[in-house]
A and B are shown apart, each in its own frame.
Chain A
Amino acid sequence: MSQLTDIQRSAESAADVVRDAGGRVSGRTRLQKTAYLLELAGVGVGFSFEYRNYGPYSEELATATKAASLFGVVTEEERITSWGGSLFVFTATGTGTKGCESRLALARAAASAHPVELELAATAAFLYGEGADDPWAQTAKRKPDKAAAGRLARAQSLYEKLRMMQTPEGLPMLPPINR
């Protein structure tokens, strides 16, 4: 069997995020934030992330997902949501990463979370990594509408739940909100 090329490898890595999350991820935000948290917890594959409108975002992952779709290892289906936007549903078959139960557990928990709360949690973690003293307050400042209606508090609970999962590096402990 021939060796995988770099592009095939990254496409497989994108597919593995979907596979490890249970074979189906509903939404680009869920996919991106799940992959980000996997990287942060030390069970990722090396996708690099930068800050964008929806929090941490990886162009490499987006490109790899497109390649995965072209190779047929991921299926991307677009659906129109009730609010008028598009929902992209990713499905992948086959076995994902082997021998890392904590990655599977984290991927499943993140990918099944409420997308706004997941975005807030990933954003706070990202800002903390960038040196923010009060990442939750900064997250709320950047995303006031998303942080409203109790979502910020639920995002904190979600993050704590994910942090309690035993991963090699573990998600960092974020300082409590100090507003």
Chain B
Amino acid sequence: MAFKPQRVRDPVHNLIRFHADQFENALWSVIETRPFQRLRRIKQLGFSDLVYPGATHSRFAHSLGVFHTARMLMQIIQTHLGPQHFEPTKAQAALAASLVHDLGHGPFSHAFEDVGRRLGLKMASHEHVSDSLIRTDDVAEAFSKLGSGFAADVADIINRKGPKDIYDAVVSSQFDADRLDYMQRDRLMSGTQVGGIDFAWLIENLEIGTVPYGVDDTKVGDLETFVVGSKAVDAAEGYVLGLFQLYPTIYFHKTTRGAEKLFTEILIRIVELAREGSIERTGLSDTHPIAIFANKPDEIESVLALDDSVIWGSLPLLVEARDETIRLFSSNLRDRNLFMAIDVRERLKSQMDGKLDEAESLDRACDQVCVRIEEAVIARSLEAKGRVPSILSDKAEREPYRRFQESKGPLNQIRVKSPNGGLVDLGERSKVVGAIQTFKLYRLYVARDDQEAQRFVADLIKREAAGNVATH
């Protein structure tokens, strides 16, 4: 059978080639499936184009870029292991996993997952949907050209959610292909000038090192992963700082998050009405993809029929909804008339800074006050249950390094080769990296025309900040 090469122009990597061999032709077949083509209609950054008009790039483009980057990383592994020890089958499974890792994302990815978490919808989890899509139907059939168990091997890599061996490091590590692509792509497409990385130099200086890993107080073994050569310490520092800057600049931007909050509330309300048997109050017909999802959220076909364009296209219907929350919030979203963001942590810091005794950490004091404010907001929301929400909360944190949830150890660090060949944490070599604290945000979004809610939040912050200072 003759294989055909394929080429794609990409704004980040220029030419992405799919070579004329069995493996890459099979991947091209995967790209041609309906689930993968759907990624053209899922934007990588969700609502970010409400802030950065250029940030309209798709998960489709990102997925191709991840595969391209993964192939570069795999070359490092191949060189390190040599022909005797390199295992092409494992490498191919990891490369395929890098291509399809985002297959299950729903519209406005993280906001959609939020809906799932709040309503207990399994199919709103992109990992669950990815797993199902990879193991069945079109995608599994395309992968079957590489062996009957290949699709399962690919799904298993994604399911592990952590590295098992050096091949997995391409999919999950401090230098995985996903992050190396999205950092460049999101920066380029958004137009922000912060967060740049020296990609070529990083790739040139990535090496393989062995780090211990364990569970709680017990060591399990050692694992090979990517480490940074001693000549790229500055590039690694820029990489960590760049990612850290992209969070407040792009991913946690107040306007983007504000739009996500409205979208989440709309979708939750639609599902609630569907559960009550009142879908007609949403403005959608029974056959609309969102109504089908709301009525049958556990079916893969329901999720597959949803994408960003379906959501945007539904707004003219939703603004006619009989349900007030859906009607108002859809109108807000359509016209970019978003709620006003109040950065609680920033306000607290400005009110409490310099007023605590020296031993008291401002950050911890803010954490405590934020919890009290959150309690008051929850109590107010409960009292107002049944009415259109007037205050929406947003809380998030970001550590400088990738964390594997329960663990904190060498796998969670960026290890740098020292001149004597040993490995040290980048935080020890770079004072600025060592000093990075977890980025935390706590914002309250308040309806712009609701003076009472705005006063409530302002008074609450003032009162709680003063109360905290008085107790110290």
Contact = CB atoms under 8 A, between A and B. Distances in A.
A29 B378 contact: no
Contact of A83 (B125, B368, B409): B409
B6 interface: no
Contact of B409 (A6, A71, A86): A86
Interface string B363-383: 010011001001100110000
A146 B156 CA distance: 16
A135 B193 CA distance: 49
B360 to A, nearest CB: 13
Contacts of A142: 156, 159-160
Contact of B378 (A7, A57, A66, A86): A7
Given A28-B406, A84-B409, A85-B407, A146 B162 contact: no
B214 A83 contact: yes
A64 B373 CA distance: 16
Nearest to B369: A70
A81 B161 CA distance: 23
Interface residues of A, number: 41
A145 B220 contact: yes
A78 B216 CA distance: 11
B164 interface: yes
Interface string A8-33: 10000000000000000011111010
Contacts of B371: 7, 67, 70-71
Contacts of A119: 215
B378 A6 contact: yes
Contact of B217 (A5, A7, A8, A26): A26
Nearest to B215: A115
Nearest to B216: A27
Contact of A7 (B162, B218, B374): B374
Interface string B210-248: 011111111111010000000000000000000000000
A143 B215 CA distance: 12
Interface in A101-129: 114-116, 119
B53 interface: no
Contact of A53 (B211, B218, B221, B405): B405
A153 to B, nearest CB: 16
Nearest to B214: A83
Given A52-B161, A115-B217, A145-B221, A29 B406 contact: yes
A77 B158 CA distance: 32
A146 B215 contact: yes
A50 interface: yes
Interface string A140-158: 0111111000000000000
B405 A54 contact: yes
Nearest to B411: A85
B404 interface: yes
Nearest to A142: B160
A145 B164 contact: yes
Interface in B130-177: 156, 159-162, 164
Given A53-B161, A53-B162, A85-B408, A6 B375 contact: yes
Given A52-B405, A116-B220, A142-B159, A27 B120 contact: no
B410 interface: yes
A30 B217 CA distance: 10
Interface centre among B218, B223, B410 (most CB of A within 10 A): B218
B212 A84 contact: yes
Contact of A85 (B161, B213, B223, B378): B213
Contact of B367 (A62, A70, A82): A70
A164 B368 CA distance: 41
Contact of B218 (A6, A67, A115): A115
A178 to B, nearest CB: 17
A87 B378 contact: no
A29 B408 CA distance: 11
A57 B214 contact: no
A83 B374 contact: no
15 contacts: A28-B405, A29-B406, A51-B159, A53-B407, A54-B162, A54-B406, A54-B407, A83-B219, A83-B409, A84-B410, A85-B407, A86-B409, A87-B216, A116-B215, A141-B156
Given A51-B161, A53-B161, A83-B212, 15 more contacts: A5-B378, A6-B375, A7-B378, A26-B216, A53-B162, A54-B162, A66-B367, A67-B371, A70-B367, A83-B214, A85-B410, A115-B215, A116-B215, A146-B215, A146-B220
